[in-house]
Amino acid sequence: MKKRNVVASIDVGTSKICTILADVSDGDSPRVVGVGVSQSQGLHKGLVVNINEARESIRDSVRKAEQTSNYKVESAYVGVTGRHVTSMNNRGVVAITRNDRVVRPCSILFLAAMLLMVSQELKTR
* Rounded Cα distance, 65 and 18, in Å: 9
Break the chain into its structural domains and give their ranges.
6-80
**By three-state DSSP, how is residue 104 classified?**
coil
* pTM of the predicted structure, to 2 decimals: 0.67
Residue 1 pLDDT grade (very low, low, confident, very high; cuts 50, 70, 90): very low
| C-alpha to C-alpha distances, 109 to 48, 80, 95, 117, nearest whole angstrom | 31, 26, 9, 15
Question: Has residue 94 got a pLDDT over 90?
Answer: no
What pLDDT score was predicted for residue 4?
64
Selecting from 3.20.20.60, 3.30.470.10, 3.30.420.40, 3.40.640.10, what CATH number does the domain 6-80 have?
3.30.420.40
Residue 2 pLDDT grade (very low, low, confident, very high; cuts 50, 70, 90): very low
- Convert the pLDDT of each residue in 20-63 to its tens digit: 999 987 677 889 999 999 999 999 887 889 999 999 999 999 99
